[in-house]
Amino acid sequence: MKTMKLDQEWSGYVDSYINGETQLEGVHRMAEMRVEEILKYVEAQSPFYKEHLRNNKACSKNNYRTLKGLPYTTKNDLRTADTEVCCVPFDEIESYYETTGTTGKSTPCPRASIDVQSSGAYVKNAVKEIYQSTFGTMNALTAIMGPSELYAFGDTYGGVCKDLGIPFVRLWPESPRVGLEKAAERINKLGVKSLICSPAVALALSRFYKSIGIDPRDTSVGQILVLGEICTPEMLTNISRIWGVQCTHGLYGSQEAHTVATGCPEGNLHVSETNYIIEILPLDGYAVDDVGELCITMLVPGAKPLIRFRTGDLARLSPSSDCGCGNKSRCIRIFGRINDTVTIGGRQMYPSSIESAVLNAVDSAWGYQVNIKKGNSDTDELEVELVADIGNQSVVLIEEQMTSHFGVPVKLLLQSRLDPRTETGAYVSWKHARIQDWR
């Protein structure tokens, strides 16, 4: 009974923000109370947090809003604590997921109905806006191209499509029952209008079509929502060009953190404001442009709220006025994982700035991989492998442009295919997929 009341209260709170009855200032004013509520909740329900926040009394009330004085929660904490972090017995959750386990042991990510509702409301609103902007209707057959096994992705979008009356088909190319060929064939046969997939899958599909003599721009697809790995503005433009479609972000989030932000028709990500306190933690050596580690406190009293969780992702927050779409939530840009940062010529480079530099130099690229090597005089050199149609562009000029961006000599290698691991970005890491460090 108590749970149902809480579910209703939260869904009313989230809806009133999304439909404009509550303003962003109102949500931020509520934050202090929400932080107090969630701290009480996790201390009472989660064996891990009971111990972890033992000295919470030291955190004075004035600090609730800033959370200063509270310990961080790290990925390592979650691996060690396992199910002890959870606040709800598994018989009372809505569904169970796990992290992929590619960066260490998998951790449990149960979701209660309150999690699914409060997170899903943002995804639903974003999808509605984007479909309205691209098609002017929800009647656009959609291929959900991601797993729905231990991962929330397919269920989240399946639920949203159902709620909005968007017809959908589950077509995950990596499923053993589907495969790239069948997925590509079904898109054409069924007249699929919208794809929801990782950037790597969007590129792999376009390469496949090209290999069988079909220009992706001649397919029925008119829109692609990408998610699951970093996606720079240059990559959004690249996919838009290759497919001749509207391409924007689906969402940014994870199994653990749920939907932290959702995409808009202008190609930006907007924070799910009611559900999180966002902190950007400054990092040594990353002194540029207010970029820091994204740290979130989940305010929804669900199955596994996390307090001051260090996501390991580089991010920057900016006001909603940075985007012209009319969404009043702040914009967030993601620059990749901290662990995927690479030092080139003595300079630290974010994953996103490497991707931007490569894609900026050519009109369109079907795939890329960067090899970092030591040159003769012990300086760094890059070999950029590209699957691209460079048309009239000169290789020398492209190399020069990249060289000035990276600050080290760059050699361009045009390829017809790349190492298969460039396909794995969403499942292992961007660095594993895109960078080969030979130093």
Which residues of this protein are in contact with Zn ion, per CB under 5 A? 264, 266, 268, 323, 325, 327
Shortest distance, position 228 Cβ to Zn ion, whole Å: 20
Number of CB atoms found within 10 A of residue 124's CB: 20
28, amino acid identity:
H
**Lookup: tokens for 273:** 């404001």
Whose Cβ is closer to Zn ion: residue 268's or residue 429's? 268
Shortest distance, position 53 Cβ to Zn ion, whole Å: 36
* Distance of alpha carbon 49 from the chain centroid: 26
Q: Is 373 exposed, middle or buried (0-12, 13-18, 19+ CB in 10 A)?
A: middle
**160: three-class secondary structure by DSSP:** helix
Shortest distance, position 381 Cβ to Zn ion, whole Å: 39
Shortest distance, position 318 Cβ to Zn ion, whole Å: 11
Whose Cβ is closer to Zn ion: residue 322's or residue 437's? 322
Q: Is residue 292 within 8 Å of residue 317, measured between CB atoms?
A: no
| Paired residues of 246 in beta bridges | 223
Q: Is residue 333 within 8 Å of residue 315, measured between CB atoms?
A: yes
Whose Cβ is closer to Zn ion: residue 32's or residue 266's? 266
Whose Cβ is closer to Zn ion: residue 225's or residue 295's? 225
Whose Cβ is closer to Zn ion: residue 280's or residue 325's? 325
Whose Cβ is closer to Zn ion: residue 185's or residue 322's? 322
Shortest distance, position 340 Cβ to Zn ion, whole Å: 26
Which spans in 214-332 are helix H? Answer: 233-243
Q: Is 291 exposed, middle or buried (0-12, 13-18, 19+ CB in 10 A)?
A: buried
Shortest distance, position 262 Cβ to Zn ion, whole Å: 9
**Lookup: tokens for 106:** 């998998």
